[in-house]
């Protein structure tokens, strides 16, 4: 199949309206459309149509037990897909929608089980991206969309990254520029009496607690848990470059020295993903991807997946990545970096 590429500069232009009309019709007729959101690009299908949703799994190579997020853009869509919204979920929606927060609630019978990965619950998000909203409204149905990457690769934060993985496999990609957040949404399970953060994102634990009150939240560390996976997607290897990625705390003198030693020692091509300050101190033969200045952690988060994809593109054989403070969006950034590093790769 030939993938049609459309770029939207101004959502209010007549060109944009025509693109939205055409791609929304494609969604209604069971095609896949990749579209921008403020977090990462999504691979959309009609969330009510099992056959269309099944295409998402086949195209990404995604395990069938990994449920999808339904994207909505008006209140009436929510009522169609969930069974009741409790007070905690309502407060979170008021505070953070539209935006990068996904809320898990009991699903209604209208949601096919392929969409929810066989679970009795469904994840719902109202994205802030105006392109995403226009597409959802024009299609008239909730749009099921995982990140628009091949399973196991980093989520795409640009249309070019979508095409890298899915060109020729999907009907359309809408280019809305680079994603502002660059990490996937925060996922909160609101089905129990105490909400649980299943995946950290730019809506932080502190922000959620400010809305719900202290001690109102559990954090669920899936990597270190033997419990039944609650966010099935978190158990799979994600965000990973093809080559090993090793985390380095550059503030720890021993680690910094060990890094220098390994840089001198190896015959492999080496990459480094980190702050401007650290990159400035490294030798020229290392391929450095500057995420941001140390103080600009939001920007670092927004650039991470691009950096990992770049390392793959250049066939870098060994990657070192600087650690960032584990607070605010740093928690989400470090969560993705630890997953990219896998189990053992800490200097």
The order of strands in the sheet holding 287-292 is 245-248, 318-322, 270-275, 287-292
Smallest separation (angstroms) from Mg ion to the CB of 143: 15
Whether residue 98 has a cis bond before it, omega within 30° of 0: yes
| Tokens standing for residue 157 | 């934060």
116 interface partner picked from Mg ion, ligand TXA, none, CB below 5 to 8 A per type: ligand TXA
The footprint of ligand TXA on residues 143-162 (CB under 6 A) is: 145-147
Number of C-beta neighbours around residue 343 at 10 A: 8
Number of C-beta neighbours around residue 334 at 10 A: 18
Give 2's contacts (C-beta < 8 A, 6+ positions apart).
Answer: 168
Q: Which stretch binds ligand TXA (CB under 6 A): 1-9, 120-128, 290-298, 332-340?
A: 120-128
Residue least distant from ligand TXA (Cβ): 233
230 interface partner picked from Mg ion, ligand TXA, none, CB below 5 to 8 A per type: ligand TXA
205 interface partner picked from Mg ion, ligand TXA, none, CB below 5 to 8 A per type: none
Smallest separation (angstroms) from ligand TXA to the CB of 230: 6
179 interface partner picked from ligand TXA, Mg ion, none, CB below 5 to 8 A per type: none
* N-to-C CA span, the chain: 45
154 interface partner picked from ligand TXA, Mg ion, none, CB below 5 to 8 A per type: none
| Tokens standing for residue 288 | 């450095």
Near Mg ion by CB under 5 A: residue from 147, 202, 275, 331: 147
Binding-site residue total for ligand TXA (CB under 6 A)?
29
Near ligand TXA by CB under 6 A: residue from 8, 33, 39, 248: 39
- If DSSP codes are grouped into helix, strand and coil, which group holds residue 89? helix
Helix or strand (DSSP H, E) at 245? strand 245-248
Beta bridge partners of 248: 322
Near ligand TXA by CB under 6 A: residue from 98, 156, 232, 274: 232
Measuring CA to CA, how many Å separate 13 from each of 92, 158, 179, 253, 293?
33, 21, 20, 54, 36
Residues that bind ligand TXA (CB under 6 A): 37, 39-40, 42, 66-69, 102, 104, 116, 119, 121-123, 125, 145-147, 184-185, 187, 198-199, 230-234
């Amino acid at each position: 199949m030939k993938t049609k590429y459309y770029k939207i500069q101004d959502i209010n232009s007549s060109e944009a309206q025509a693109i939205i009309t055409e791609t929304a019709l494609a969604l209604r007729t069971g095609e896949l459309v990749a579209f921008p959101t403020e977090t990462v690009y999504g691979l959309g299908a009609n969330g009510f149509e099992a056959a269309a949703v099944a295409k998402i799994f086949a195209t990404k190579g995604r395990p069938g037990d990994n449920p999808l997020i339904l994207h909505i853009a008006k209140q009436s869509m929510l009522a169609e897909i969930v069974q009741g919204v409790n007070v905690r979920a309502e407060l979170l929606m008021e505070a953070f929608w539209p935006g990068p927060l996904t809320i898990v609630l009991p699903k209604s019978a209208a949601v096919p089980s392929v969409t929810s990965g066989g679970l009795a619950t469904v994840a719902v998000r109202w994205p802030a991206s105006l392109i995403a909203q226009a597409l959802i409204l024009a299609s008239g149905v909730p749009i099921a969309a995982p990140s628009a990457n091949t399973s196991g690769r980093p989520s795409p934060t640009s249309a070019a990254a979508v095409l890298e993985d899915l060109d020729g496999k999907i009907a359309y990609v809408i280019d809305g520029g680079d994603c502002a957040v660059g990490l996937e949404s925060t996922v909160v399970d609101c089905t129990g009496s105490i909400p649980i953060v299943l995946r950290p994102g730019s809506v932080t634990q502190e922000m959620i607690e400010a809305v719900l009150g202290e001690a109102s939240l559990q954090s669920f560390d899936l990597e270190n848990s033997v419990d039944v996976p609650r966010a099935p997607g978190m158990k799979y290897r994600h965000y990973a470059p093809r080559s090993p990625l090793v985390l380095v705390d550059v503030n720890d003198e021993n680690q910094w020295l060990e890094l220098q030693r390994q840089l001198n020692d190896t015959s492999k091509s080496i990459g480094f993903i980190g702050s401007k300050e650290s990159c400035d101190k490294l030798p020229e033969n290392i391929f450095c991807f500057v995420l941001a200045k140390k103080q600009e952690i939001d920007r670092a988060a927004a650039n991470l997946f691009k950096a990992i994809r770049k390392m793959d593109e250049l066939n870098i054989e060994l990657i070192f990545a600087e650690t960032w403070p584990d607070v605010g969006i740093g928690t989400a950034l470090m969560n993705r970096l630890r997953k990219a590093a896998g189990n053992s790769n800490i200097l």
